Chains A and B, each alone.
Chain A
Amino acid sequence: MKKGIPKRKDLTGEIFVEKIGIPPEAEDGVL
């Protein structure tokens, strides 16, 4: 999840994290 999201639960309320189907190979060279 994006770094700042879990630090602002006063604004986000309850947080759910969902995958959106991007191939894991798209991470190569990024992470």
Chain B
Amino acid sequence: MEISVDDMYKIENKGHEMGFLKKFMMENAGAASVKRLAEKLENLQSKQILIFVGLGNNGGDGLVMARHLAGYDAKVTVMLLGTPDKIKTEESNWNWSILEKMPSIRLLTGNSIHFDFNPDIIIDSILGTGISGDIKEPYASAINYINETNSYKFAVDVPSGLDPQTRDTANICTKCDMTVTFIK
């Protein structure tokens, strides 16, 4: 069944009002994503995984994935595209605060898209369904980096830059090998 982005927002908001809080939706989305990735690639234990995280709730899904991937003994690096004080939502802030207590995960922040390792897997949790206008820095550089690598590329919910309602793309968009998208 296909659903509009607006209707999905309404359903999420109604679920939240019923007491099934958005942090639980985020948890389920991130956990389901890792389960699918583990089924697809197997042996995550030896993999270098780089997670690009935006400041909204799509980024929050990536933060949940980081925590679950640590449970697989993967080598996880989170690149937050901005600074923690700019994280936009309560759910994402809550998940970031957990990662800050996990030495098993390397946390990077800011605008620099340079890394001292070659990731086996890149997770795109930069932008979700609410895009409008051209994609700006540092998001644009992160998307370019993703598209220029030979890593396996995984999109959370939607490749960054793709409008999941119209199927149009912004000025730039990630091209992924696998996408896990969510319904109710």
Q: When chains A and B are docked, how far (Å) is the Cα of A17 from the Cα of B10? A: 19
Instruction: Determine if B8 is an interface residue (Cβ-Cβ < 8 Å).
Output: yes
Tell me, in angstroms, the Cα distance from A23 to B1 when the chains sit together.
17
Residues from chain B with Cβ under 8 Å of A31 in the complex: 3, 7, 11
Let me know if A21 and B28 touch, CB within 8 A. yes
Interface size on B, residues (CB 8 A): 47
Stretch at the interface among B13-21, B42-50, B103-111: B13-21
Decide yes or no whether B155 CB sits under 8 A from chain A: yes
B82 to chain A minimum Cβ distance, whole angstroms, is 24
Residues of A within 8 A of B3 (CB): 1-3, 31
The bracket for how many chain A residues form the interface is 20 to 34
Q: Which residues of A contact B18 (CB under 8 A)?
A: 23, 25-26
> Which chain A residues lie closer than 8 Å to B8 at the CB level?
2
Measured CB to CB, the closest approach of chain A to B130, in angstroms, equals 12
Taking a contact as CB atoms under 8 Å apart, the answer to whether A27 and B181 are in contact is: no
> Are B14 and A17 closer than 8 Å at their CB atoms?
no
Decide: A30 and B2 in contact? CB cutoff 8 A.
no
Q: Which residues of B contact A (CB under 8 A)?
A: 1-5, 7-8, 10-12, 14-15, 18, 20, 24-25, 28-29, 32-33, 36, 40, 129, 153, 155, 158-159, 162-169, 173-184
30 residue pairs bridging A and B, Cβ less than 8 Å apart: A1-B1, A2-B2, A2-B3, A2-B129, A2-B164, A2-B181, A3-B165, A4-B165, A5-B158, A11-B176, A12-B179, A13-B155, A14-B177, A17-B183, A18-B28, A18-B181, A19-B28, A19-B32, A20-B183, A20-B184, A22-B12, A22-B15, A22-B25, A23-B15, A23-B18, A26-B184, A27-B11, A29-B14, A30-B7, A30-B11
